Amino acid sequence: MRKLTYLLILSSAALLHSCDSRTYEDISDNKPITLPVKYTADVKPIMDNNCIGCHSAGSFKPLTTYDQVKANIDGIIDRIQRPNGDPEKMPKGGSISAAQINIFIKWKANGLTEN
């Protein structure tokens, strides 16, 4: 009986210690972007790391230049925001973070500036 009481107290202490009072906003990378977003500095690195593998210069829908990405921004935003499991979701076989998605949205809201 004494061992059971000790085990219960120890389990309760461990459970209470493991609780975290931080909010979603504190731990999420989905924070609002306050600085202006530009293609060369912010959008292009995401495109290069996640999209160029399928959307290179010789592909069916190249997205390698500023003008190509700018012309397709609505479709890009639509595709990267689709839920997992949607066959139209991009990038294929993966996902980009909420913070990276916010960069595309903010870039469009800022007027799609290049530099």
Q: Which residue is listed with tokens 């210069």?
A: 57
pLDDT at 43: 97
d(C-alpha 9, C-alpha 46), whole Å: 49
Domains of the chain: 29-109 (1.10.760)
d(C-alpha 19, C-alpha 11), whole Å: 13
d(C-alpha 103, C-alpha 29), whole Å: 12
* CA dihedral sign of residues 52, 30, 79, 105: negative
Mean pLDDT by 10 residues, the chain (115 residues): 76 60 54 87 96 93 97 97 94 91 96 94
pLDDT at 20: 54
Pick from 95, 90, 101, 104: nearest CA to 39: 104
d(C-alpha 67, C-alpha 114), whole Å: 9
8-state DSSP, 33: P
pLDDT at 29: 61
